[in-house]
Amino acid sequence: MKGNNCMGKIFGWGVVWMLLLFAGGCSTGEERQLDEALKLAGDNRKELEKVLDYYAGDSLKLRAVRFLIRNMPGCYGFPESGLSGLASVYQAYDSVNRVFDYRICAEWGKEIDRLQERIPGISSGCWVADLSAVSSSYLISETERSFDAWERNVYASQISFDDFLEYVLPYRRLNGLVADGIRDTFYYRHMGKYYASAGHSWKEDTDSLLYEYRSLVHSQFFGTRIPLVDAVTFERLKRGLCIHRCWYNSLLLSALGMPVAIDFVPAWGNRNNSHTWNVLVMGDRSYAFEAFWDEDRWKYKRIYNNRTCDRLWGEFRLPKVYRYTYSNHPEGPVTDRDVDRADIPSLFRNMKKLDVSNEYFETQDVCIKLTEPAPEGARYAYLAVFGYQQWHPVQWGKIGNDGSVLFRNMGKDMVYLPVYYRQGVVVPAASPFRLEADGTVRILSDDGKRGKVGLRTLFGAPTHDRNLTYLHAFRGTSFVVMEDGNPQGKLCELTDSLGIGMNRFPVVSSASCRYVRMYLPADTLAAGEIVFYTADGRVPSVRVVSEGIPLSQSSEGIRNLTDGTEATCCRCRFPEGYVDFDLGESYRLTGVGFCPYLKSQIETGNHYELLYWDKGWKRHASREGTELGWLEFEGVPLHCLLMLKNTGWPGASAERTFTVTEEGISWE
């Protein structure tokens, strides 16, 4: 590689290339893309033309290098020469690893974080633009090895040539990396051992291959500002983030002829942060897997479907899933010459991605009427999800003449906020709304309805793994009809672990009843609320007949089990192994609700504010934490988006939003 151009010029080339392509309309041919890429290469054009001349007599490989060159605009990397400036930091990192025997712990993390002070100003420095730097010998070497690996791979028959071009051939798997010969290293290290025998499945070979690299583990977010820009360094340091392991795996697997990509959710719909993972594209199906070694590595299509609640991981709700690509896919505001780049969220300035949401979950197009004045000249609006106290745009839509916007292929069962974006600032464009699991839109705004809300947690879905004991403990719990003190028939049974909110189970019996017995798997019960439903709603004034022995503080007694507030929990022992309920009169039940016990996140002495959204966060009321472990608020605007905030946590803290439904609290 040669040449060094600043990031501004790289981005500028991308804009110039895009404007040239779209100057004559939205449809351009491959020939035109190639011509424009060669023009933008400047002094390096001769190197690229050498590659085209080299393959002039080989139609298939010529098609491959034309693909590489015409999609090279927008590709940039880290200069190999820049690694020397990081050598001392990497050496110190390696030394810390050795001192701690490669164990990740708090003290190790402190030492690694201190190394960040020694990092030169790389992030604001200069990068290498591929168009001006890639050599003919490098492109030829990468092309030859890619074809050889593809031909040797026994599963290649499942891979179309187009998929080969996108997922096997490209030397650059992600922008910002050193373009080196690491794929040759991987090729000679493993070729002939994996994907070479029809006696194995490609999934088994992938597991075995990645098992060899199980020592490359997650850094637990220590040293996140230390650049990892090449595979050799990653292998040396053995610590990194999901994105690092993803590009590493992509280099590794593609070097052996496997069609591999990186998928990502830009921001969760019900959690903070984002995530990346790998995917193999085999024929007309894709197979997503965890980048780091994991015994359950192929779980993502199972837990990222926006429907399930996994026993171990809880609920994941994804607004969008995108796939990083080598090819350019210009669309939306980045193709509009009348839109300033500073008015486009960074996600949508990136033309090297595809929307693959439909491969993971059922999507919904959503049309929203914007109600807030648009900034002058605004032509696009965005849908955003909440995380770490900010709204993160995840989809764009063009504003219609009537002020409405169509947002395509959205994930369901989560809350969105329509926003404008101006000079890096998110501006609310309408009220937040919840796109329900059935595809209906529920606007979250103050309609005057007020009520009481009790809370004992602040985080929503992230609390799942902190409460696994309680969520798993009640599988096998059953509810039966009681008559004259004898069980008469089963109403329902809890066959799986619980979610963190109200879990509603349908009743299988059509018999009317007044008395219900709940049989426990053990002699203890920890729950937030037990509810019985009829076709008309909740049964009022349910009384617990059994006497429970409190396991801890008296405030968690049996009376809390049916008081209508999930936050007032019950932790009691029932020596008989069951709990009896009196419904007050006979009802034909349609469902039973079980809200689990959750460890309290309310601490004595801390100050909390209940906030509601009305064109921004507004304070409803404040409370001091007490030994009760829960807080109660009166007169709450029930149909707004709400959040309980610990005022002692500054900045991008982790509190999640919630809404109030007929079922109770729904964490978003």
- For the stretch 138-193, pLDDT in tens is 999 999 999 999 999 999 888 999 999 999 999 999 999 999 999 999 999 999 99
Q: Give the Cα separation of 453 and 667 in Å (integer).
A: 13
Strands 217-218 vs 239-240: parallel, antiparallel or unpaired:
parallel
The angle formed by the CA atoms of residues 441, 445 and 449, to the nearest 5 degrees, is 110
Average pLDDT over residues 531-542: 94
Q: Three-state SS for 180?
A: coil
Question: Does residue 429 belong to any structural domain of this protein?
Answer: yes
Residues 623, 654 within the same domain:
yes
Q: Average model confidence (pLDDT) for the chain? A: 93
Confidence bin at 660 (pLDDT 50/70/90): very high
pLDDT at res. 551? 86
Question: Does residue 337 belong to any structural domain of this protein?
Answer: yes
pLDDT at res. 1? 45
CATH number at residue 647: 2.60.40
- Lowest pLDDT segment from 92-96, 275-279, 553-557: 553-557
* Percent of the chain's residues with pLDDT above 70: 95
Q: Give the Cα separation of 618 and 446 in Å (integer).
A: 12
Tally of helices (H runs) and strands (E runs) in the chain: 15, 38
φ, ψ of residue 446 to 5 degrees: the values are -80, 110
Residues 591, 609 within the same domain:
no
pLDDT at res. 123? 47
- For the stretch 612-657, pLDDT in tens is 999 999 999 999 998 889 999 999 999 999 999 999 998 899 999 9
Closest CA to 339 of 385, 396, 392, 386: 396
Residue type at 320? K
**Strand order in 657-661's β-sheet?**
617-624, 607-613, 642-646, 657-661, 664-667
Residues 393, 542 within the same domain:
no
Residues 591, 615 within the same domain:
no
Closest CA to 302 of 312, 155, 293, 324: 312
In 562-591, which positions are buried (b, 16+ CB within 10 angstroms) versus exposed (e)? Answer: beebbbbbbbbebeeebbbbebeeebebeb
Residue type at 172? R
pLDDT at res. 17? 52
Statement: residue 606 has pLDDT above 50: yes
Q: Give the Cα separation of 536 and 590 in Å (integer).
A: 9
pLDDT at res. 120? 76
pLDDT at res. 639? 96
Q: How far is CA 206 from CA 155, 197, 200, 285, 292, in A?
A: 12, 13, 10, 16, 12
Statement: residue 436 has pLDDT above 80: yes
Q: Give the Cα separation of 624 and 606 in Å (integer).
A: 6
Question: Does residue 619 belong to any structural domain of this protein?
Answer: yes
Q: Is 529 exposed, middle or buried (0-12, 13-18, 19+ CB in 10 A)?
A: buried
pLDDT at res. 649? 93
Statement: residue 4 has pLDDT above 50: no
Confidence bin at 23 (pLDDT 50/70/90): very low
Q: Where are the alpha helices (DSSP H) in 159-311?
A: 161-167, 182-190, 202-211, 231-237, 242-255, 300-303
Could you tell me the residue range of the domain that residue 402 belongs to? Answer: 324-443
Residue type at 29? G
- Where a domain ends, among 535, 562, 596? 596
Q: Three-state SS for 623?
A: strand
Question: Does residue 413 belong to any structural domain of this protein?
Answer: yes
pLDDT at res. 82? 87
pLDDT at res. 245? 98
Statement: residue 472 has pLDDT above 60: yes
Residues 592, 654 within the same domain:
no
Average pLDDT over residues 548-575: 90
Residues 456, 523 within the same domain:
no
Q: Give the Cα separation of 233 and 243 in Å (integer).
A: 15
Question: Does residue 505 belong to any structural domain of this protein?
Answer: yes
Residues 555, 618 within the same domain:
no
- Where a domain ends, among 569, 596, 623? 596
- Lowest pLDDT segment from 2-6, 133-137, 269-273, 373-377: 2-6
The token pair at 587 is 């009802």
The token pair at 284 is 């007309």
pLDDT at res. 24? 41
Closest CA to 38 of 456, 30, 654, 460: 30
Q: Give the Cα separation of 500 and 667 in Å (integer).
A: 9
Statement: residue 20 has pLDDT above 90: no
Confidence bin at 277 (pLDDT 50/70/90): very high
Q: Which residue has the higher pLDDT, 285 or 9?
A: 285
Residues 480, 588 within the same domain:
yes
Residues 432, 483 within the same domain:
no
The beta-strand segments (E) located in 81-213 are 126-129
Strands 314-315 vs 478-483: parallel, antiparallel or unpaired:
unpaired
pLDDT at res. 14? 56
Q: Give the Cα separation of 31 and 29 in Å (integer).
A: 5
- For the stretch 50-60, pLDDT in tens is 999 999 999 99
Residues 517, 628 within the same domain:
no
Average pLDDT over residues 221-237: 96
| Domain count of the fold of the chain | 3
Residue type at 571? R
Handedness of CA 610, 614, 618, 619 (dihedral sign): negative
Residues 532, 616 within the same domain:
no
Residues 375, 407 within the same domain:
yes
Question: Does residue 616 belong to any structural domain of this protein?
Answer: yes
Handedness of CA 340, 344, 347, 353 (dihedral sign): negative
- Lowest pLDDT segment from 238-247, 411-420, 424-433, 501-510: 501-510
- The position carrying tokens 């053995």 is 238
> Helices 30-40 and 45-54: crossing angle, nearest 10°?
140
3-state secondary structure 74-91: CCEECCHHHHHHHHHHHH
Confidence bin at 26 (pLDDT 50/70/90): very low
Question: Does residue 507 belong to any structural domain of this protein?
Answer: yes
The token pair at 198 is 């029809």
Separation of first and last alpha carbons in the chain: 47
pLDDT at res. 261? 98
Strands 275-282 vs 260-265: parallel, antiparallel or unpaired:
antiparallel
- Where a domain ends, among 596, 631, 659? 596
Average pLDDT over residues 76-104: 94
Q: Give the Cα separation of 502 and 479 in Å (integer).
A: 16
Question: Does residue 643 belong to any structural domain of this protein?
Answer: yes
Confidence bin at 427 (pLDDT 50/70/90): very high
Q: Give the Cα separation of 35 and 52 in Å (integer).
A: 12
Statement: residue 552 has pLDDT above 90: no
